[in-house]
């Protein structure tokens, strides 16, 4: 076995807070070898990012402090190096890619200038410029000479992340720390970034510490996996061993929390509760309160680390010195099969609640002193969809394709430019603002970021009552208060939560408050705009279970806007795939996801990271980014990125081709033989 490039031993990083000492990192140890990718996996708040910052002595001061441990980079203890010498290591030998490139890049400096700052000393202006252009080209940014002079706001999300990677690679580091590098990206851009990291790693031999909570990304990228929980590593194993037989109860719970089409019609096995507060001294196992295999000893004595060749686990169940006769008997189980269990069929289509016909939302582009209209951004350009009562329609596609604008057009938060939106037989586009006001109680929205959408100055009870007062619902204040408490209990929160502020809750709890707020006015339709994209797998499972339960109990309809196709498989009845303002394919979930017709749908599905990585699946590579909706390509909008484009695709936009009463696509490949589903 090769010598470790980085060796972490007993690292502890604590924070002094008014609530007490927070043990964010409490004695972790791991090794990282040259050319290896180690995935640090776990829920938000478990200490993953603080561990990475500790390696570079970047812990926020004065509250944060590294109280114990060693970080050996070769033969050098990084934690014993003074700040002056640390500057030779940061960005030189160890580089970092942060989760959100928009907040990591300086908005007033060009991309070229920022990457030049990361270059080692000794470059002339000409050589530095050539080196930066070469770096931008190496990370797949087209027209690097022009991009060199552009600012961060002029780049798409995927391009900003690529620029961050170029900056991190500028000094050819030995180790790259990638902190959730693809969390906010679409599946196609995510596939590009992950492929790029793999290729660069093979060329340079650098080691990668990958911080993530996405099991699919871990399956695709990692050589070794370390699972972190409440400041400690609870399991460590080679990737194949980990995915074949996860050992720690927490790791097994993570696998069971994953949504898929094979779990349709049943509740996900969510992990109850949340990560415990680290501002306490633990005497037993930190997972005991959420573990269905815990017994008395787990709450009384902290488990020790049990080594087994290249693997290890921190659990009493595997300690040979402890009899487990009192433990809940359950053998370690592999991840749930994706082959044996048949998917439960979606129920029959019901009466249509909402119908969109040729919906268009165009935004004028103004120029000059007199604000002349010189063009339009065609965010939504002729969308026709239906949502049945008690049904879920998923709207999927890359960022910038117009999904959220469709949701706002339905809610009349943005007035459509053209087209029809009929809700329960009533034409919404023809109603005045005054006439719309009483209608708004019937359709509500859940936003992606609950922290940004909840007023931080209002108590939760006031937030929930605000909609009731606006719609003159609930009667007397005492009745509204009682209804508020009932709503909180309905979404799994205690009634006393009404007297607290949003910042006092976790991300999953805040999203539950957002759901309660939407339910406060008894809606029939809820537009869910990426409601689980920022959540951990376990919290996501809780929210999906709640949404499914509410739909079954109250007959709610959902428009579920997302780019997570696993969620679509589990929750939705129908799915529509959107590209550059238009629907390119739609149908029942099993029709579209099991037999995709449009090349864009096929590319989306192939790019989704899967935990069953040994299936030999082929990833369809989409080069470049989605074009600007202000200047869409002639013909089929997808043809510049389509691997199967023909001359006809460049000349005219294709009409719909039907494969069943519910499944259709807009693609020239099916211009004839549409009834048989065969291509020309």
Rounded to an integer, the average pLDDT of 374-379 is: 89
Provide the 3-class DSSP secondary structure of residue 48: helix
State the Cα–Cα distance between residues 625 and 161, nearest whole angstrom. Answer: 13
State the Cα–Cα distance between residues 296 and 313, nearest whole angstrom. Answer: 19
Task: Say if residue 216 is exposed, middle or buried (CB neighbours under 10 Å; 0-12, 13-18, 19+).
Answer: buried
Of 120, 140, 172, which closes a domain? 172
Residue 111 inside a domain? The answer is yes
Instruction: Name residue, tokens 């980085």.
Output: 6
Higher-confidence residue: 141 or 67? 67
pLDDT in tens, 566-615: 899 999 999 999 999 999 999 999 999 999 999 999 999 988 887 865 55
**Would you place residue 373 in the very low, low, confident or very high pLDDT band (cuts 50, 70, 90)?**
confident
Instruction: Name residue, tokens 């500028």.
Output: 170
* pTM of the full structure: 0.85
Residue 468 inside a domain? The answer is no
Which of these, 315, 288, 294, lies nearest to 303 by C-alpha position? 315
Pair 546, 491: CB distance under 8 Å: yes
Which of these, 416, 405, 107, 46, lies nearest to 248 by C-alpha position? 46
Instruction: Name residue, tokens 């010598």.
Output: 3
**% of the chain beyond a pLDDT of 90:** 55
Summary mean pLDDT of the chain: 87
State the Cα–Cα distance between residues 603 and 37, nearest whole angstrom. Answer: 26
Residue 558 inside a domain? The answer is yes
Provide the 3-class DSSP secondary structure of residue 120: coil
Which of these, 457, 445, 447, lies nearest to 503 by C-alpha position? 457
Secondary structure of 381-400 in HEC code, one letter for each residue: EEEEEEEECCCEEEEECCCC
pLDDT in tens, 147-164: 999 999 888 777 888 888
Q: What is the CATH number of the domain that holds 379?
A: 3.40.50.300
In this prediction, residue 98 carries a pLDDT of 81
Instruction: Name residue, tokens 């969109």.
Output: 356
Residue 611 inside a domain? The answer is yes
Residue 386 inside a domain? The answer is yes
State the Cα–Cα distance between residues 271 and 276, nearest whole angstrom. Answer: 13
Total number of domains in the chain: 2
Structure tokens belonging to residue 623: 């080069």
- Indicate whether 346 pLDDT > 50: no
- Cα distances (Å, whole numbers) of residue 487 to 214, 242, 434, 523, 656: 31, 40, 28, 13, 44
**Would you place residue 342 in the very low, low, confident or very high pLDDT band (cuts 50, 70, 90)?**
very low
- DSSP bridge partners of 380: 361
**Would you place residue 347 in the very low, low, confident or very high pLDDT band (cuts 50, 70, 90)?**
very low
- Cα distances (Å, whole numbers) of residue 653 to 285, 579, 622, 634, 637: 60, 13, 20, 8, 7
User: Cα angle vertex 240, ends 233, 50, to 5°?
Assistant: 25
Q: How far is CA 94 from the centre of its chain?
A: 26
Residue 522 inside a domain? The answer is yes
- Indicate whether 345 pLDDT > 60: no
Strand 64-73 relative to strand 175-179, pairing: unpaired
Of 172, 197, 217, which closes a domain? 172
**Would you place residue 337 in the very low, low, confident or very high pLDDT band (cuts 50, 70, 90)?**
very low
Question: What's 90's DSSP letter?
Answer: B
Structure tokens belonging to residue 208: 């990668």
In this prediction, residue 327 carries a pLDDT of 55
Of 172, 190, 207, which closes a domain? 172
Strand 582-588 relative to strand 664-666, pairing: antiparallel
Is omega for the bond preceding 445 within 30 degrees of 0, making it cis? no
Which of these, 598, 604, 638, lies nearest to 619 by C-alpha position? 604
State the Cα–Cα distance between residues 84 and 615, nearest whole angstrom. Answer: 50
For 524, residues 6+ apart whose C-beta sits below 8 A from its C-beta are 353, 389, 424, 442, 443, 555, 556, 557
Residue 125 inside a domain? The answer is yes
State the Cα–Cα distance between residues 213 and 413, nearest whole angstrom. Answer: 34
Determine the structural domain holding residue 607 and report its residue range: 352-459+509-670
Structure tokens belonging to residue 651: 């000349």
Structure tokens belonging to residue 348: 């029959």
**Would you place residue 63 in the very low, low, confident or very high pLDDT band (cuts 50, 70, 90)?**
confident
Residue 364 inside a domain? The answer is yes
Strand 664-666 relative to strand 656-658, pairing: antiparallel
Structure tokens belonging to residue 589: 């979930």
Higher-confidence residue: 607 or 354? 354
Provide the 3-class DSSP secondary structure of residue 101: helix
- Indicate whether 398 pLDDT > 70: yes
- Indicate whether 25 pLDDT > 90: yes
Task: Say if residue 89 is exposed, middle or buried (CB neighbours under 10 Å; 0-12, 13-18, 19+).
Answer: buried
State the Cα–Cα distance between residues 537 and 526, nearest whole angstrom. Answer: 22
In this prediction, residue 61 carries a pLDDT of 83
Which ranges of 334-459 would DSSP assign to H, the alpha helix? 403-411, 433-439, 450-453
In this prediction, residue 56 carries a pLDDT of 92
């Amino acid at each position: 076995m090769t010598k470790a490039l980085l060796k972490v031993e007993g690292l502890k990083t604590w924070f002094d807070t008014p609530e007490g000492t927070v043990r964010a990192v409490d004695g972790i140890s791991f090794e990282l070898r040259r050319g290896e990718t180690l995935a640090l996996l776990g829920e938000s708040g478990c200490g993953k990012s603080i561990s990475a910052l500790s390696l570079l002595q970047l812990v926020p001061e004065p509250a944060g402090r590294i109280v114990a441990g060693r970080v050996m980079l070769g033969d050098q203890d990084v934690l014993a190096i003074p700040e002056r010498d640390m500057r030779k290591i940061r960005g030189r030998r160890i580089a970092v890619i942060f989760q959100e490139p928009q907040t990591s890049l300086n908005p007033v400096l060009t991309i070229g200038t920022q990457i030049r700052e990361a270059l080692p000393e000794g470059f002339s202006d000409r050589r530095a410029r050539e080196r930066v252009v070469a770096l931008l080209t190496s990370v797949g940014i087209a027209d690097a000479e022009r991009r060199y002079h552009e600012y961060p706001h002029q780049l798409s999300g995927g391009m900003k992340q690529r620029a961050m990677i170029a900056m991190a690679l500028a000094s050819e580091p030995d180790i790259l720390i990638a902190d959730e590098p693809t969390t906010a990206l679409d599946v196609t851009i995510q596939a590009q970034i992950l492929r790029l990291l793999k290729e660069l790693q093979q060329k340079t031999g650098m080691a990668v510490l990958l911080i993530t909570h996405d099991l699919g990304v871990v399956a695709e990228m990692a050589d070794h996996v370390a699972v972190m929980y409440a400041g400690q590593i609870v399991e460590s194993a080679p990737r194949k061993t980990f995915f074949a037989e996860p050992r720690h109860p927490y790791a097994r719970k993570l696998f069971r929390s994953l949504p898929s089409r094979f779990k349709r019609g049943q509740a996900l096995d969510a992990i109850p509760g949340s990560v415990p507060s680290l501002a306490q001294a633990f005497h037993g196992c930190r997972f005991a309160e959420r573990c269905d295999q815990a017994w008395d000893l787990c709450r009384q004595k902290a488990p020790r680390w049990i080594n087994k060749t290249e693997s290890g686990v921190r659990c009493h169940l595997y300690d040979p010195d402890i009899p487990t006769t009192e433990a809940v008997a359950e053998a370690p189980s592999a991840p749930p099969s994706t082959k044996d269990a048949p998917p439960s069929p979606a129920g029959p289509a019901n009466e249509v609640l909402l119908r969109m016909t040729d919906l268009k939302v165009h935004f004028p582009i103004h120029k000059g002193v007199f604000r002349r209209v010189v063009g339009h951004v065609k965010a939504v350009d002729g969308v026709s969809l239906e949502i049945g009562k008690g049904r879920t329609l998923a709207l999927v596609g890359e960022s910038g394709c117009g999904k959220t604008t469709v949701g706002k057009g339905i809610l009349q938060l943005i007035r459509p430019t053209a087209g029809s939106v009929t809700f329960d037989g009533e034409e919404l586009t023809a109603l005045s603002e005054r006439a719309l006001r009483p209608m708004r109680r019937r359709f509500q929205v859940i936003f992606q970021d609950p922290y940004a959408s909840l007023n931080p100055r209002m108590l939760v009870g006031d937030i929930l009552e605000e909609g009731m007062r606006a719609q003159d619902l609930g009667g007397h204040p005492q009745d509204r208060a009682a209804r508020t408490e009932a709503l909180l209990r309905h979404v799994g929160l205690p009634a006393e939560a009404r007297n607290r502020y949003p910042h006092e809750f976790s991300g999953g709890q805040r999203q539950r408050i957002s759901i309660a707020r939407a339910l406060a006015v008894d809606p029939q339709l809820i537009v869910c705009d990426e409601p689980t994209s920022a959540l951990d797998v376990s919290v996501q499972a809780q929210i999906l279970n709640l949404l499914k339960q509410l739909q079954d109990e109250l007959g709610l309809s959902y428009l579920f806007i997302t780019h997570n196709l696993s969620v679509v498989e589990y929750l939705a009845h129908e799915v529509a795939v959107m590209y550059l303002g238009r629907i390119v394919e739609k149908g029942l979930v099993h029709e579209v996801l099991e037999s995709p017709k449009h090349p864009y749908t096929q590319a989306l599905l192939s790019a989704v990271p899967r935990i069953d990585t040994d299936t030999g699946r082929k990833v369809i590579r989409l080069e470049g980014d989605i074009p600007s909706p202000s200047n869409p390509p002639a013909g089929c909008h997808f043809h510049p990125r389509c691997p199967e484009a023909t001359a006809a695709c460049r000349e005219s936009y294709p009409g719909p081709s039907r494969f069943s009463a519910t499944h259709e696509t807009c693609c020239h490949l099916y211009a004839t033989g549409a009834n048989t589903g065969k291509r020309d």
